[in-house]
């Protein structure tokens, strides 16, 4: 249940404060050039840097221990590992007693019967997205598609030129904000996605909701399209490659890529950890008590989640792409 | 790729105009009472009846050919079959030349190299949701949860008391409309969902996007929550069962059910087939030409999609439920 | 758990005495000619006819209800169904009290907590191999390989010219016999099989042991090869297509087809149901008591299991074949 | 395709001469004590020590990087890694030109289009069984069963008291030998195994054939049982726990554990690498030429394969065990 994909398959492991986190990537075409500088570049994009991201330093060097020989994929599974360094565990000792609002502390404690590694959120930590980014980099090396992402809203702000200013006010308030990220894939061939249960939009949505903090996914015009009537909503085909006049459906019809850009929006909730005091239930005193979360946290994780979403998407596209090749 | 689930598993087959459609349901607990009247009742809810649904008659009698003995599940896979009756195929002959806007005609023709059964949309037809409803009925018989759905918006209308009137105007215009359906599950225990890639929200979203016409899914407060700051968004735990003051997260934290109601919204696009003429590309003449779709279609499929979404959801919940039992 | 395969996938359902048994075949290349007379011919080979097979009449007409349009595979799952006719259930009422030796009566009763459909062995009946044969026929239509099987030993008899005479003596004794069947596949390309856990021999063995009554599988020279030393056992490559001087490895090296004939032997145990009285534990009287099994049974199921093994093998080969195409 | 299992799932990676090999073990019950000394003890059993095993030193220290906290399984995937040390790659440079008899050199070169890491056999190396042993150790920690293995034949020798003497003659001849290993599992509850395609014997056979060098598997009395008639072959139940007078079926009926000892035999072919010169096809000169394999190899890998088979079996049993728990 830690694997995604049929032909291009990733299997994740790791917890925030254990020795290492990593991923096995299976199904990379033998002969694919594995460019480690591209992996490093994507990892760099995930790092906290801009205002509103955590001041903690994560030195995420990706080590490849198998599946690559002389810079080329061998056809064996590729194992990518990232050591967890700079681990400070003292801040997390009372998570069982006082579950942090918005975090998985409470559910993890029930589900894993108290045996979970609670430090830093354990397997629920956003850190697990680091190997996912690395795996996605490899997926992109195999694919002829162009991926991009854009932050289109953060909190109430839609004009991204004002973003640092806006986020600074959030920091001052000891608060956090969420946002909306738009993803695009260009140059996608017609035919990706397998009905009935591996439709391309279904798989993309599944992957997006696997990323911590994602609470909504909509394709093309999305929920806003509820106000359109059929004749306006329908995308009219205008050439023999299937290009359409509008792209309300986000490049996917009947669960299958239709030759137009794949487009969808992802809602990322406000970061759960905030500087401000909050209430939570205290399982020792059996009362609602105040909790102040220590440590230094992202106030706008949405500012660095773009590459995570893009690369997670690439994993989905790689699997769909290989499946679409079977009968050719 | 026509299967969903690990322990509770459904495998679909069928095309709109072939002899039969059906589903194999695997993983039903031996000894579960299989009440065929409940299946029939759910099938009835899916039938077109209200204003805005197709005047075509679908007599969807579900036949069980295996896995049930004296009204009780044996532990073998249950096969449910629905014969396709009242099939008229003449209306569908020019779908390859003139793909209908919003439909999968074009992508299917590319993907299946012209061999697809194009009649009535073939495997892309909404008819495939009939066996899904039947399978979901069985899922509900196995589960202690309470499912419900509610149509909360149709086109621009949010006051459902005015719905027949509103839909009639859409009919008059030869148009169609979409809508938003809210789903709820009550009495869900803490611990359903398996990180990293079988989180409960991820699985639910995947299933919802598998249903034809669904283009958006959001949990709890959804996209609207982008305007909230962390302290307002976070759901505060108020008792030792994990109940929270608000339910912005829709009953799922870290991909795991948290003991509150599962709540999410689904955007259903306007029905693609409309009475009005539309343009489409003509693959024979290589020009954009006008197309008038014959036959009688739903103008608001969203009026009868609720039971489909609910029962599809039940399939996801059944699989998650069985997984949550493994270590108990 | 009733499915086999990743890309070419079969999902079985049915029990001996329910309304129907069947199979969904997914992954058939769109455009594949589906020749129903070939399916019928294979079904005919499975029917009891020769001496030593049951005098019961099974009229196994295969009905296709989806996935085939104008005799050609559409790319949708193909559903093949066989109705269970001529069912007499009265002979099976005391299986729970007195489990038949060699049969699954006892284990089924524990595993399915008494809810199993015990009539005719339920899902453990050899009847389940009928849809498997039908699915295998379709697999063969998609493959460029040549399949064959040969009965090389029955009971103590190795000279098949004497077989009717030999089997008649077994019938006279009220006994049953097993046998050894050799399977071959010719014209197999190099490269089928996916290490580490989907090696071709591993998948073949898994499938063979799924067939009721199979208790041993050996490739190439098999167990007899234990007496050879390395220099004699090793198959020496003699040309650039990888042909080898000997074929002790049965056409598979490192779990991958090596371009030589796939060859293996399957041991089929003596039919469990015999005319002679046997002892078994009586769960009512809590004593060992005598049991005489009524009805008319195969005394040498091995005489008609060949086509079952061949077609089951074809399913494995089809899945491996599609996988081998992914990166080409 | 490098994963085995549904609920207890192992995912392997690694090649003989890359930085590390390893395995992710998913599905370990939270709270299971993970005793690293037991893992080390099993790894020790796999090491070459006795006469007839390679004089090469493999220092297989298993590092756990996730999923274990304070010596206890957390419920997250457990990653076990073994670094490849003492790697000498110079001996393997001409494998592409002159494929070694019995090895996967030729098939790998075709399948992976020349991109495979050929050093030391790459992913086809017996080294991949090291992480499998480690994973199996963990499986055994979760299970209430008793596992054992016994070498019952080596080459032509059946009296194991003479084994060192016998193997020495093989070494003198520059030859190698295979053997037969018998595996047993005691204290297995009734009900493990899921028909139709995850029968216990089918899964065990699949796993055994995944181990390099295995060419035959037979349950209970195996192929020898072909000479028995039904009344002799059938195992008669003698008490209400399902114990049988004989165990010709090897503890499995209808693909389900029947409460008796699981018993089966595995044929391990003679080690392919031998000291003696052999012929092989030379892909440069296009002629059959002589090949002398350098390095130091096991002449009787069968002397140390027992723990590999046992622990691989434990993985199968763990998955079947968890599945059998679902409806309890």
CB contact under 8 A, D225 and C267: yes
The shortest C-alpha distance from D131 to chain B (Å) reads: 23
The shortest C-alpha distance from C326 to chain B (Å) reads: 16
CB contact under 8 A, D111 and A75: yes
The shortest C-alpha distance from B182 to chain D (Å) reads: 31
CB contact under 8 A, A7 and C326: yes
- Per the structure, the count of domains in chain C is 1
Backbone φ and ψ of C120, nearest 5°: 65, 20
Unique residue bearing structure tokens 């395709």:
D1
CB contact under 8 A, C327 and A6: no
Compute the C-alpha angle B303/B308/B311, nearest 5°: 140
Residue B80: which CATH number? 3.60.150.10
Residue A182's beta-bridge partner residues?
A: A150, A265
* 3-state helix, strand and coil shares in percent for chain A, rounded to the nearest 5: 30, 25, 45
pLDDT at res. C54? 78
CB contact under 8 A, B101 and A234: yes
Does residue D173 have a pLDDT over 90? yes
**Integer Cα distance of A69 and D115 in angstroms:** 8
**Integer Cα distance of D251 and D257 in angstroms:** 6
Mean pLDDT within B124-144: 96
Return the closest-CA partner of residue A138 out of A210, A71, A211: A71
- Scanning C165-194 for CB atoms below 8 A from D yields 170, 173, 175-180, 190-191, 194
The separation between the first and the last C-alpha atoms of chain C, rounded to the nearest angstrom, is 30
CB contact under 8 A, A101 and B235: yes
Among B254, B277, B323, pick the best mutation site for testing chain A contact (most A Cβ within 10 A): B254
Q: In this structure, what DSSP letter does residue B27 have?
A: -
pLDDT one-digit tens code per residue, B108-123: 999 999 999 988 889 9
- Scanning D21-50 for CB atoms below 8 A from B yields 27, 29-30
CB contact under 8 A, A66 and D115: no
**Integer Cα distance of A113 and D52 in angstroms:** 48
Cβ density class D296-327: b for 16+ within 10 Å, e for less: ebbbbbbbbbbbbbbbbbbbbbbbbbbbbebb
Which residue from B minimizes the CA distance to D327? B29
CB contact under 8 A, D207 and C212: no
pLDDT at res. B89? 64
Percentage of chain D exceeding pLDDT 70? 97
Burial of A279 (0-12, 13-18, 19+ CB in 10 A): middle
Neighbours of chain D (3+ CB pairs under 8 A): A, B, C
Which residue from D minimizes the CA distance to A22? D79
**D271 interaction partners in chain C (CB closer than 8 Å):** 230
pLDDT one-digit tens code per residue, A143-180: 999 999 999 999 999 999 999 999 999 999 999 999 99
Q: In this structure, what DSSP letter does residue A270 have?
A: P
Instruction: Tell me, rounded to whole angstroms, the distance of Cα D44 from its chain centroid.
Output: 15
The shortest C-alpha distance from A31 to chain D (Å) reads: 6
CB contact under 8 A, C2 and B24: yes
The shortest C-alpha distance from A280 to chain C (Å) reads: 43
Query: Can you give the C-alpha Rg of chain B in angstroms?
Result: 21
- Scanning D80-139 for CB atoms below 8 A from A yields 81, 111-113, 115-117, 122-123
CB contact under 8 A, D7 and B322: no
The shortest C-alpha distance from A325 to chain C (Å) reads: 6
CB contact under 8 A, B274 and A231: yes
Alpha-carbon torsion (D287, D289, D294, D297), positive or negative: positive
The shortest C-alpha distance from D327 to chain B (Å) reads: 6
The shortest C-alpha distance from B240 to chain D (Å) reads: 22
**Which long-range contacts link C161-170 to residues 24+ away (Cβ below 8 Å)?**
C163/C303, C164/C50, C164/C51, C167/C51, C167/C52, C167/C299, C167/C300, C167/C303, C168/C51, C170/C52, C170/C299, C170/C300, C170/D229
| SS3 call for D316 | helix
Distances (CA, A) of A317 to A61, A130, A139, A242, A262: 25, 19, 8, 19, 10
Q: How confident is the model at residue C247 (pLDDT cuts 50, 70, 90)?
A: very high
- What average pLDDT is seen over chain D? 94
Of residues B67 and A297, the one with the higher pLDDT is B67
pLDDT at res. C135? 98
Q: Are C199 and D209 in contact (CB under 8 A)?
A: yes
pLDDT one-digit tens code per residue, A235-283: 999 999 999 999 999 999 999 999 999 999 999 999 999 999 999 999 9
Does residue C85 have a pLDDT over 90? no
Range of the domain at A281: 3-325
**Quick one: residue A259, left, alpha or beta (phi over 0 = left, psi -120 to 50 = alpha)?**
left
Of residues C60 and D12, the one with the higher pLDDT is D12
> Chain D within 8 Å of C278 (Cβ-Cβ)?
yes
- B76 closest CB neighbour out of C19, C24, C122: C122
pLDDT at res. A58? 66
**B272 interaction partners in chain A (CB closer than 8 Å):** 230, 234
Does residue D50 have a pLDDT over 90? no
- A106 closest CB neighbour out of B155, B242, B286: B242
Q: Are C250 and C219 in contact (CB under 8 A)?
A: yes
Return the closest-CA partner of residue C209 out of B279, B100, B140, D203: D203
Which residue from A minimizes the CA distance to D82? A65
Backbone φ and ψ of C22, nearest 5°: -175, -175
> Chain A within 8 Å of C7 (Cβ-Cβ)?
yes
Would you call the peptide bond into B219 cis, given omega within 30 degrees of 0 as the criterion? no
Q: In this structure, what DSSP letter does residue D269 have?
A: P
Of residues A89 and A309, the one with the higher pLDDT is A309
CB contact under 8 A, D66 and A13: yes
The shortest C-alpha distance from D14 to chain B (Å) reads: 23
pLDDT at res. A86? 72
Lowest mean pLDDT among D95-104, D125-134, D269-278: D95-104
pLDDT one-digit tens code per residue, A188-209: 999 999 999 999 999 999 999 9
| SS3 call for D66 | strand
**Integer Cα distance of D223 and C223 in angstroms:** 9
ipTM score of complex: 0.97
> Chain C within 8 Å of D309 (Cβ-Cβ)?
no
- D31 closest CB neighbour out of A11, A73, A115: A115
CB contact under 8 A, D206 and C208: no
Would you call the peptide bond into D21 cis, given omega within 30 degrees of 0 as the criterion? no
Residue A169's beta-bridge partner residues?
A: none
The strand ranges marked E within chain D are 3-4, 9-13, 20-26, 62-66, 68-69, 72-73, 78-83, 146-154, 179-186, 214-219, 252-253, 256-257, 262-268, 278-282, 287-291
Which residue from C minimizes the CA distance to A322? C326
Q: How confident is the model at residue C90 (pLDDT cuts 50, 70, 90)?
A: low
Q: How confident is the model at residue A50 (pLDDT cuts 50, 70, 90)?
A: confident
- What average pLDDT is seen over chain B? 94
- C229 closest CB neighbour out of D170, D197, D281: D170
**A18 interaction partners in chain D (CB closer than 8 Å):** 65-69
Q: Are A188 and A153 in contact (CB under 8 A)?
A: no
- Scanning A210-249 for CB atoms below 8 A from B yields 210, 212, 215-223, 225-231, 233-240, 242, 248-249
> Chain B within 8 Å of D327 (Cβ-Cβ)?
yes
**Integer Cα distance of C319 and B244 in angstroms:** 49
Does residue A94 have a pLDDT over 80? no
CA atoms within 13 A on the CB side of C328: 13
The shortest C-alpha distance from A327 to chain C (Å) reads: 6
Alpha-carbon torsion (A189, A190, A196, A199), positive or negative: positive
pLDDT one-digit tens code per residue, C209-235: 999 999 999 999 999 999 999 999 999
**Integer Cα distance of A118 and A137 in angstroms:** 29
SS (H, E, C) chain C: CCEECCCCEEEEECCCCCCEEEEEEECCCCCCECCHHHHHHHHHHHCCCCCCCCCCCCCCCEEEEECEECCEECCCCEEEEEECCCCCCHHHCCCCCCCCCCCCHHHHHHHCCCCCCCHHHHHHCHHHHHHHHHHHHHHHHHCCCEEEEEEEEECCECCHHHHHHHHHHHHHCCCCECEEEEEEEECCCCCCCECCCECHHHHHHHHHHHCCCEEEEEECCHHHHHHCEHHHHCCCECCCCCCECCCCCCCEECCEECCCCEEEEEEECCCCCCCCCEEEEECCCCEEEEECCCCCCCCCHHHCCHHHHHHHHHHHHHHHHHHHHCCC
| SS3 call for D248 | coil
Unique residue bearing structure tokens 């290349």:
C29
Inter-chain CB pairs, B–C, below 8 Å? 152
- What average pLDDT is seen over chain A? 94
Inter-chain CB pairs, A–C, below 8 Å? 17
Alpha-carbon torsion (A91, A92, A93, A96), positive or negative: positive
pTM equals 0.97
**D327 interaction partners in chain C (CB closer than 8 Å):** 113
């Amino acid at each position: 249940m830690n694997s995604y994909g049929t032909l291009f398959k990733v299997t994740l492991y790791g917890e925030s404060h254990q020795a290492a986190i990593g991923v096995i990537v299976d199904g990379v075409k033998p002969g694919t050039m594995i460019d480690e500088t591209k992996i490093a570049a994507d990892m760099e994009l995930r790092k906290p840097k801009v205002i509103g991201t955590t001041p903690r330093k994560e030195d995420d060097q990706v080590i490849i221990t198998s599946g690559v020989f002389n810079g080329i994929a061998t056809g064996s599974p590729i194992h990518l590992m990232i050591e967890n360094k700079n681990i400070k565990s003292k801040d997390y000792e009372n998570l069982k007693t006082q579950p942090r609002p918005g975090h998985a502390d409470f559910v993890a404690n029930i589900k894993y019967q108290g045996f979970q590694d609670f430090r830093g959120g354990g397997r629920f930590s956003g850190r697990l997205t680091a190997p996912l980014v690395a795996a996605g980099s490899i997926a992109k090396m195999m694919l002829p598609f162009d991926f991009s992402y854009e932050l289109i809203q953060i909190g109430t702000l839609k004009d991204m030129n004002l973003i640092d200013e806006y986020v600074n006010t959030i920091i001052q308030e000891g608060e956090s904000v969420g946002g909306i990220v738009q993803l695009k894939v260009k140059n996608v061939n017609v035919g990706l996605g397998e009905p009935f249960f591996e439709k391309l939009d279904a798989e993309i949505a599944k992957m997006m909701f696997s990323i911590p903090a994602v609470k909504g996914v909509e394709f093309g015009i999305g929920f806003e399209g509820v106000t359109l009537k059929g004749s306006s909503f329908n995308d009219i085909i205008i050439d023999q490659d299937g290009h359409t006049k509008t792209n309300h459906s986000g490049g996917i019809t009947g669960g299958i890529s239709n030759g137009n850009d794949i487009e969808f929006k992802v809602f990322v909730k406000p970061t759960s950890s905030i500087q401000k005091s909050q209430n939570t239930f205290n399982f020792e005193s059996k009362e609602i008590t105040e909790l102040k979360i220590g440590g230094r946290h992202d106030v706008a994780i949405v500012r660095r989640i773009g590459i995570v979403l893009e690369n997670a998407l690439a994993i989905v596209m790689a699997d769909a792409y290989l499946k679409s090749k079977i009968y050719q």
